[in-house]
Amino acid sequence: MYSHNLMKNIIRHFNIIYILFLFIFLFPAIYLFPQERHNNCIECHSKFEEEETSPTIEFKNDIHNTSGMLCSDCHGGDPEINAGGNQELAMNPKKGYKPPPGHNEIPEFCARCHSDFEYMKKFNPNIRVDQYENYLTSQHGKLLAKGDDKVANCVSCHKTHGIRKKTNPASAVFANKIPETCSKCHSDPEYMKEYKILTNQLEMYKKSVHGEFLLEKGDLNAPACNDCHGNHGAAPPGVESVHNVCGVCHSGNNQLFLKSSHKKYFDEFGFPECASCHEHHLIKKLTEESLGVGDQSVCGICHTQEDEGGIIAVEMKNIIENFSALRDTCQILSEEVERKGMPVNEIKYQMNNVDSELLKARNIVHSFSLENIKQITEEGTKLAISVKKMANDELKEYQIRRIGLAVSLFFIFLAGTALYLKIKKIDKKNIINSF
Amino acid sequence: MEERNTSRKSFINYLLGGGFTLVAASFLYPIVRFVLPPKSTEAEPMAVSAGKVGEMHLNSGKIFKFGRKPGLLIYTEQGEYQAFMATCTHLDCIVQFRNDSESIWCACHNGYYDLNGNNISGPPPRPLERLNVFIKDDDIMVSKIT
Amino acid sequence: MKTYTTNLINWLDKRYNIKEIIGFITEKKVPIYKHTIWYYMGGITLLFFIIQVLTGILLLLYYRPTPEEAFESVQFIMTQVHYGWLIRSIHSWSANLMILFAFIHMFSVLLLKSYRPPRELTWVTGVLLMYISLAFGFTGYLLPWNELSFFATKVGTDIAGVIPFIGKFIIRFLRGGEDVTGATLTRLFGFHVAVLPGVIIVILVIHLLMVQRQGMSKPIGLKEVKKGMLFFPDFFLRDLLGWLFAVGILAALAAIFPWELGQKADPFSSAPEGIAPEWYFLFMFQTLKFFPARILILDGEVIAVFIFAALGIFWILIPFLDTKARREQKSPIFTTIGIFAILYVGIITILSYFVFK
C-alpha cells in the first residue's frame, strides 16, 4: 500500500521523460567510477589454504583488507588477470611480483609504505610514520641489522596477515595483550639463552602494581612493557634515564628524587635510580618496612645502622610508622562509630584527608629529607588527632545515650511496678465473679 | 490493720505519682531539647559555600568541602568561576589547579585536565565531575548539576 | 479539691448530661478468660498511633519536603538537632510497631469472630484504619529521599500502572508526573501529613466510640463467662501497664538500633541491589513475583493486582459473609481463612528476608 503510494508520488513529481533522460545520460557514468577490484589471488590460494592461520583466511580481518588493499599491494603481481591456474601469469615479476620477504627483510618491506607519509596520510592524516626509524634504534633492530634472524620484527608482534589496529581488542598489540605478546619470546629460556638476559619479566610484571591494574583490574591506562621500553624503539632504558621513564607518570616523585642527594650518588655508583629500590618489572610497592635498616629494608642495602643515612632512615621509619599507626587507630574508631549507628560523615571526610596526608608522607620519602617528612606528618598528625577526638566524642555520646536509656527505662520500671501494685490492690475489690 | 493498709495505699500512690512524673519528665526532656533550635540553624542544603567573592586571585584554585568529598573551585584568568569534584577519575587522588599551565593536575600519576574538566593527558579515563557555580550575596555557591 | 471536681462535673452535667457517660463508663465490664490478653492489642496500636502523631509533628519542625533538602534535613535532624536521632528513630520504629500490632489486633479479632453482630461496622472501620496505616507507611517511606526508598517507591508505584485503563492515571496521580521526582515527594508528603491524618482521625474516633459503646465482645461458645473486671479502673490500669511496657521496648529499640538513613537518592544512578519495600508490603510484593508473566491471554501481574483488590474488598465484607458466625455458630471456614492468611503473610514475609533475597 505504502510503496504503491510512493510510486504514485514519484510519478507525479518526476516526469517520466525526465527519468528516462537520467537513465540514458547517467547510467554510463557509473562505469567511470572504479569498480570493486577483482582479487584472483584469494580465489586460487584459498583452494589449498584451509588452516585458520593461512594468509587468505587471516587476511579477511586484516586492517589492510578492510582498508581496501589487495595482496598485490604488498606482494605485487596481477590479481585481475584471469590466469586460470597459471601461476607465472598471475605472479609475474614483470608486474611487480616479489617472493615473500625473509625475516630480515620484513621491516624494510613494511616501511615501503609505513614510512611514506605522503602515502599513509590518505588513510589517516595523523598517522605516525616513524616506526621503522625507531625500530632501527631498538635492540631488535640493531641485532637484525647484524643478521640475527631470531629477533623480533614487525610481524612478530603485529602478525603477518592478521594485522589489526592497536585499538582493536583482538589485536596482539592491544594494551592488555602486550605483556603476553612480548613474553612469547622473552619468557622462553631456551629461545633467549644466547642473549644472556633474564626471562622472568612477565612473571615479575604480573606481580607488579602495573600488572595488577592492567591485567586484573582491566585499567588500560596502566603501563605495559611498551610504555617504559618504547613501542618500536624497544630497548632497556639506560641507568640514568630510569627517572625520566618512571617520571612520565610519577612526576611528583620524580621531581623529589631529582632534587634529592640520592640522584647524584645513584648515578655515580651506577644504581638504576627508581629501580634500585622498587626493582624493575616487579615495581615493588614499598612499605614502612622498606625504610630503616632492617631485614626488609631497601635503605639497608647501602646504609648501616651507624652511618648518618642509616640513622635518618630509621627515624623516617619511626615517624611514618607512628603516623600510620595513628591513622589506623582513627580508622578503627571511625568504623566503631559507624557500627554503633552514630553520625560518621564528618569523620569520614576528615579520614579521607588523613589518608591523603599519609600518602603524601610516603611520597615525600623520595626527597630523602627528614625535615620534609616531619613537616608533612606533623600536619597529618594534627588532623588525625582531631579525627580521633571527633570519633571519641561520638563514642562518648553513644555511652550517654545508653545511660539516658537506662535511666528512662528505670523510671518506666518504677512506674510499672507501682501500677502493678495498684492493680493488685484494686483487683481485690473490683473483680466480679458473677458476670 | 486499718492503719497499715492506709500507709501501704499511700505508699503505692506516692510511688505511682512519682514514677509517672519521672516517666513524663524523661519523655518531655528530649522533646523540649528537640524543639529548641540547635546552634547551626540551617539544614545543610544541596549547595555549599565554596568561598567568598573577591577572596580568590585570578588564575587560581582552591579545595573546598563538598559534602563528604573535596571539591575544586577555580577562578580563571577570564574571571569565571568553575567547580569540579576534586577526586581524580583515575585513582581518586585529589587534583589541584596549576596556574603555570592553566590546567588541573593530578600529582599521583601526572594526569591533566583542562579547565572544562576534560581529561587531556595521562591516565585519567574520564572528565572530572562538573559542579554548578552561582553567586548568592557574597558567597560563591556550588551545587550538584541535576 | 473534691468539691471543685464535683462542682465541675455538675456544671458540665447541666449542659452536656455527662453523668450518664460517667455512669456508663464506671459500670462497663470486661470479661476475664484465657483470651483476655487480645483485648490489649488495639490499645497498644492506639498508643503507637499517638506516638506517631507527636513525633511526626516534632519532625515537621525541621523536615523540608524538597528533593534538594529532604535528605539533608533528615540528616540535619539526626546529627544537629538535640535528640533528633531519637525522635526520628522513634517515629520509624513506632510506625513499624504500630503496623505490627494492628496486624495482631486484626487477626485476633478475626479468629475470635468479634466482628459478628452487632459489631460489623467496628470491623469495617478497623480494616479501613489498617489500609490507611499501610498508606501512611507507603507515603512516609519516600520522605527521607534516600536511595532505597526512592527506588522502592518507583517499583511500588509502577505496580499500580498495570491496572487496565486507569493504571496510567493512577501512576500520574501518585507520582505527580511520569516519573518519581520532586513532585512525587511533595505529593506523598502532602498525603502523609495532611490528607491521611485527617481521614484516619475521623475513622479512628468512630472506631473507638463504637468499641466503647458496645463493650468487649465475647467469643462464640464463651457466653457463660463468669469472671469479669471493671473497665475503669481495672482494665484501664492494665492497659496503662501495657503501654508503659510498650514504651520501654520502643525506647530501647530506638536507642539501641537507631534507624539508618542510608545514601541520598540519585535519580540518575542505576537501582542499587536489595531494593525492598517495607516489611509489611513484602508479602504482596513477593506474591506478585510468584505470578507467571502470562496466564492464558492475560497479563499475570494484572490478575495479581485484581486478586489483591478483590481480597481487600472481601476482607472488609467478612462480617456480612460469615453467615454462621452471624447466627452465633462456630464458623471453621473463616477460622481456616484467618489461619491461612496469618501463615501465608508470616511465612512469605520471613522467606522474603532469608530465601528470596
Q: Say if residues C59 and C259 touch (Cβ distance below 8 Å).
A: no
Which of C79, C237, C255 is nearest residue A343 as measured by Cβ atoms?
C79
The strand order across the sheet containing B111-113 reads: B96-98, B103-106, B111-113, B119-121
For range A189-198, the mean pLDDT: 90
Question: Of A104-118, A193-207, C113-127, C289-303, where does mean pLDDT reach its minimum?
Answer: C289-303
> In terms of domains, do B53 and B111 share one?
yes
pLDDT for C221 beyond 90: no
Is B113 a member of any domain? yes
Compute the distance between CA of residue B76 and CA of residue B78 in angstroms, rounded to an integer. Answer: 5
> In terms of domains, do B72 and B140 share one?
yes
Q: pLDDT tens-digit profile of A285-304?
A: 888 889 988 888 899 888 98
Q: pLDDT tens-digit profile of C42-93?
A: 999 999 999 999 999 999 999 999 988 898 889 889 888 889 999 999 999 9
Which of C229, C238, C248 is nearest residue A432 as measured by Cβ atoms?
C229
For range A89-96, the mean pLDDT: 80
Q: pLDDT tens-digit profile of B76-123?
A: 888 889 999 988 888 788 888 988 888 999 888 888 999 888 988 888
> In terms of domains, do B105 and B55 share one?
yes
Cβ <8 Å between B108 and A421? no
Could you write out the DSSP letters of every residue in C123-161?
Answer: HHHHHHHHHHHHHHHHHHHHTT-BHHHHHHHHHHHHHHT
Q: Say if residues C66 and C252 touch (Cβ distance below 8 Å).
A: no
Query: Would you state the cell numbers that stand for residue A13, as one nine-digit string?
Result: 513529481
Q: Say if residues A162 and A61 touch (Cβ distance below 8 Å).
A: yes
Q: Say if residues A338 and A327 touch (Cβ distance below 8 Å).
A: no
Q: Which domain holds residue B6?
A: 1-36
pLDDT for A36 beyond 70: no
Which residues of chain C neighbour B35 with C-beta distances below 8 Å? Answer: 58, 61
Q: What is the nearest CA distance from A419 to chain C, expressed in angstroms?
A: 7
Contacts A–C by Cβ distance under 8 A: 70
Which residues of chain A neighbour C229 with C-beta distances below 8 Å? Answer: 427, 430-432
Which of A402, A409, A420 is nearest residue C248 as measured by Cβ atoms?
A409
> In terms of domains, do B73 and B9 share one?
no
Is B136 a member of any domain? yes
Q: What is the dihedral of CA A206, A211, A216, A221, to 10 degrees?
A: -160
Which residues does A contribute to its contact with B (CB < 8 Å)? 219, 221-222, 247-252, 345, 348-349, 352-353, 356, 359, 407-408, 411-412, 414-419, 421-422, 425
Q: pLDDT tens-digit profile of B36-56?
A: 887 665 544 567 788 888 888
Is B41 a member of any domain? no
Q: What is the nearest CA distance from C127 to chain A, expressed in angstroms?
A: 30
Residue C32 touches partner A, C-beta closer than 8 Å: yes
Which residues of chain C neighbour B45 with C-beta distances below 8 Å? Answer: 68-69, 72
Q: Report in angstroms the alpha-carbon separations of C260 from A236, A344, B10.
A: 56, 12, 46
Which residues of chain B neighbour A418 with C-beta distances below 8 Å? Answer: 12, 15-16, 18-20
Interface of B with C in 28-47 (CB under 8 A): 30-31, 33-40, 42-46
Which residues of chain C neighbour B22 with C-beta distances below 8 Å? Answer: none
Share of chain B above pLDDT 90, in %: 20
> In terms of domains, do B132 and B86 share one?
yes
Which residues of chain C neighbour A429 with C-beta distances below 8 Å? Answer: none
Angle at CA A336, nearest 5°, toward A351 and C246? 135
The residue among B57, B53, B51, B101 whose CA lies nearest residue B76 is: B57
As a three-state string, the secondary structure of C306-321 is HHHHHHHHHHHHHHHH
Which residues of chain B neighbour C80 with C-beta distances below 8 Å? Answer: 38-40, 43
Compute the distance between CA of residue A18 and CA of residue A11 in angstroms, rounded to an integer. Answer: 10
Which of A359, A411, A418 is nearest residue B16 as measured by Cβ atoms?
A418
For residue C270, give the amino acid letter. Answer: S
Is B43 a member of any domain? no
Local structure of A219: helix, strand or coil: coil
Q: Quick one: closest CA in A to C241, which residue?
A: A416
Cβ <8 Å between B43 and C84? no
Angle at CA A108, nearest 5°, toward A105 and A112? 135
Residue range(s) occupied by CATH 1.20.140 in chain A: 308-430
Which of A405, A430, A433 is nearest residue C226 as measured by Cβ atoms?
A433
Is B42 a member of any domain? no
For chain A, what's the residue count?
A: 435
For range C123-132, the mean pLDDT: 97
Strand spans (E) along chain B: 48-52, 60-66, 69-75, 81-85, 96-98, 103-106, 111-113, 119-121, 130-136, 139-144
pLDDT given at position A27: 55
> In terms of domains, do B60 and B20 share one?
no
pLDDT for A90 beyond 60: yes
> In terms of domains, do B81 and B124 share one?
yes
pLDDT for A65 beyond 60: yes
For residue A235, give the amino acid letter. Answer: A
Cβ <8 Å between C84 and B34? yes
Domains of chain C, start order: 32-269 (1.20.810.10)
Question: Of A19-28, A38-47, A181-190, A332-341, where does mean pLDDT reach its minimum?
Answer: A19-28
Q: Domain A308-430: which topology?
A: Butyryl-CoA Dehydrogenase, subunit A; domain 3 (1.20.140)
Could you write out the DSSP letters of every residue in A105-142?
Answer: GHHHHHHHHHT-HHHHTTT-TT----HHHHHHHSHHHH
Compute the distance between CA of residue A63 and CA of residue A65 in angstroms, rounded to an integer. Answer: 5
Quote the distance between the C-alpha of residue C24 and its chain's center. Answer: 30
Cβ <8 Å between B35 and C62? no
Cβ <8 Å between B38 and C87? no
Higher-confidence residue of C222 and A225: namely: A225
Cβ <8 Å between A356 and B68? no
Q: Say if residues A320 and A362 touch (Cβ distance below 8 Å).
A: yes
pLDDT given at position B1: 46
Which of C58, C69, C84 is nearest residue B46 as measured by Cβ atoms?
C69
Q: Report in angstroms the alpha-carbon separations of B129 from B103, B114, B117, C141, C264.
A: 15, 13, 7, 30, 17
> In terms of domains, do B131 and B80 share one?
yes
pLDDT band at residue A374, thresholds of 50, 70 and 90? Answer: very high
Q: Say if residues C70 and C143 touch (Cβ distance below 8 Å).
A: yes
Cβ <8 Å between A426 and C257? no
> In terms of domains, do B26 and B54 share one?
no
Handedness of CA A324, A325, A331, A337 (dihedral sign): negative
Cβ <8 Å between B26 and A408? yes
pLDDT for B144 beyond 50: yes
pLDDT for B145 beyond 80: no
Cβ <8 Å between C244 and B23? yes
Which of A251, A414, A425 is nearest residue B22 as measured by Cβ atoms?
A414
Cβ <8 Å between B15 and A421? yes
For residue B78, give the amino acid letter. Answer: Q
Higher-confidence residue of B67 and C25: namely: C25
The residue among B69, B71, B136 whose CA lies nearest residue B97 is: B71
Which residues of chain C neighbour A426 with C-beta distances below 8 Å? Answer: 233-234, 237
Q: What is the nearest CA distance from B66 to chain A, expressed in angstroms?
A: 10
pLDDT given at position B43: 47
Which residues of chain A neighbour B94 with C-beta distances below 8 Å? Answer: 356
Which of C226, C240, C252 is nearest residue A419 as measured by Cβ atoms?
C240
> In terms of domains, do B20 and B70 share one?
no
Question: Of A207-211, A283-287, C51-55, C95-99, where does mean pLDDT reach its minimum?
Answer: A283-287
Q: Quick one: closest CA in B to A421, which residue?
A: B12
Which residues of chain B neighbour C94 with C-beta distances below 8 Å? Answer: none
List all chains that touch chain C, counting a touch as 3 or more CB pairs closer than 8 Å: A, B
pLDDT for C124 beyond 60: yes
Which residues of chain C neighbour B146 with C-beta distances below 8 Å? Answer: 267
pLDDT given at position B47: 74
Query: Would you state the cell numbers that stand for residue B135, as one nine-digit string?
Result: 553567586
Domain count, chain B: 2
Residue C81 touches partner A, C-beta closer than 8 Å: no
Angle at CA B32, nearest 5°, toward B27 and B34? 100
Local structure of A77: helix, strand or coil: coil
For range A318-327, the mean pLDDT: 95
For range A404-423, the mean pLDDT: 93
The residue among B72, B99, B76 whose CA lies nearest residue B87 is: B72
